[in-house]
Amino acid sequence: MGGITITAVISNRDKVTFGEVADHYHSNKLIFGLKYFKNWVLERVAAWFPIPSWRAKFHKMRGVNLGKNVYVGYDVVFDRLHPEMITVGDYSEIGDRCILSAGPKELIFLSTFFTTGAQRVTNTPSFR
């Protein structure tokens, strides 16, 4: 009988993308990964927390600039790489399941082409 084999739960595409983004910021991949993971955990906790003022506090802990008495709905996603670039004014409301993005879009890239079955994903978006 053979030994136990551990299958990776991270796809090759995710590994390449993570490496490219970390390299772009000239960041240590471990430190970048820990910061991203911390932001992801706070985002997920805030997404379903029942008290709106606490949801706002969790997003502030991520670096989002929220004004006074801001309502943040359930499952709101602020940019995962650049939460500090988002500013929401006083007494604003953000509805459930909104996505707010920030940061330059040229940072989202893949230098390698990937194929899955009959589909091909490249670094050029295609809209139909």
pLDDT tens digits for range 48-94: 999 999 999 999 999 999 989 999 999 999 888 888 888 898 888 89
What is each CA distance from 79 to 8, 34, 115, 121, in whole angstroms? 26, 16, 27, 23
pLDDT digits (tens, 9 = 90+) for 58-71: 999 999 999 899 99
Cβ-contact 98, 70 below 8 angstroms = no
pTM strictly above 0.85: no
Judge contact between 62 and 83, C-beta under 8 A.
yes
Residue linked to tokens 């459930």: 96
